[in-house]
Amino acid sequence: MPQNHGNFLDMPQLQKGVTRFWLIRHAVVEQNARRHLYGAMDVPLCPDSLVAQRPMYEALARRLPHPALWFTSPLGRAQQTAQAIQQAGYGTQASRIEPAFTEQSMGEWHGTTHDQLPQKLAVPAHPFWSVGATEQPPGGESMVQVCARVGAALDRMSREHAGKDMVIVSHGGAIRGALAHALHVHAHTALHFSIQNLSLSVIEHLREGWRIVNVNELPLV
């Protein structure tokens, strides 16, 4: 019988010993923050959603691998989401702060209401993001720059933790940046991905390169 070549995901379970990133977007932030461009601001989670979405945290706790290394962005909403997942059944696990996985900095535009933003833009906004991929707010960063910093972190972490499962609780922009890096696509293209709150996206680093396992998987409850 001829042997298959390459790496295939034919079985229902993922192969062990693969360098794998489990990327989770943080939970919903509180209502007042959502009225503004909050980017890399440290805004709190919605307390009502933390209670109402408890089954989603439990589903994530069941879905994530054991053992795994845990990382969060420096922002409190990512750290609190990680704690909620662990408390929902995963079990206590030390989490490391990974600055590269923070959200896009909007610089001087932080706190701008969404109706005030269009007059500040130098290029048209992306249809699925607050600003265009090349737009760099004063004192902030463009999505192109986000993709570069996230990509560099993925490469570094793949070397440092080869063969490990890594859970990273992060942000919509940073996760899109990870997908852009894995697919070798421009930031504008990556912004077409929908990354919902509490969704899971999984990517792998193999000898042959990066592979996307799934994107924007919502917890089954």
Please indicate, yes or no, if residue 50 is contained in any of the structural domains: yes
Q: Hey, which residues does 120 pair with through a beta bridge?
A: none
Share of the chain above pLDDT 90, in %: 93
The full length of the chain comes to: 221
Question: Mean pLDDT score of the chain, rounded to an integer?
Answer: 95
- Predicted pLDDT at 220: 81
Separation CA 68–CA 221 (nearest Å): 22
- The domain total for the chain is 1
For residue 14, is pLDDT > 80?
yes
For 63, the token pair is 């879905």
Span 29-51, mean pLDDT? 95
Give the rounded percent of residues in the chain with a pLDDT score beyond 70. Answer: 96
Average pLDDT of the segment spanning 122-138: 97
pLDDT the model gives residue 214? 97
Domain presence at residue 170: yes
Q: What is the CATH number of the domain that holds 170?
A: 3.40.50.1240
| pLDDT digits 0-9 by tens, 71-119 | 999 999 999 999 999 999 999 999 999 999 999 999 999 999 999 999 9
Show Cβ contacts of residue 114 under 8 Å, excluding neighbours closer than 6 positions.
35, 36, 37, 130
pTM of the predicted structure, to 2 decimals: 0.95
Q: Is 104 a domain residue?
A: yes
Would you say 210 and 220 are in contact if contact means Cβ atoms under 8 Å apart? no
Angle ∠(73,95,218) on CA atoms, nearest 5: 65
Cα–Cα distance list, 179 to 5, 25, 210 (Å)? 25, 13, 10
As a dihedral over the C-alpha atoms of residue 213, residue 216, residue 220, residue 221, rounded to 10 degrees, the angle is 160
Closest to 114 (Cα-Cα) out of 130, 97, 135, 138:
130
Classify residue 8: in a domain, yes or no: no
What residue type is assigned to position 125 of the chain? A
Asked, for residue 13, whether it belongs to a domain, the answer is no
Does residue 184 lie within any of the structural domains? Answer: yes
In a domain, 179, yes or no: yes
Q: How confident is the model at residue 5 (pLDDT cuts 50, 70, 90)?
A: low
Range of the domain at 198: 19-217
pLDDT tens for residues 178-206? 999 999 999 999 999 999 999 999 999 99
Burial letters for 110-147: b for 16+ Cβ neighbours within 10 Å, e otherwise? bebeeeebeeeeeeeebeebbbbbebbbeebbbbbbbb
Q: Domain for residue 14, yes or no?
A: no
For position 1, what pLDDT does the model report? Answer: 37
Is residue 3 scored above 50 in pLDDT? no
Report yes or no: 218 and 198 within 8 Å, Cβ to Cβ.
yes
pLDDT, mean of residues 135-160: 98
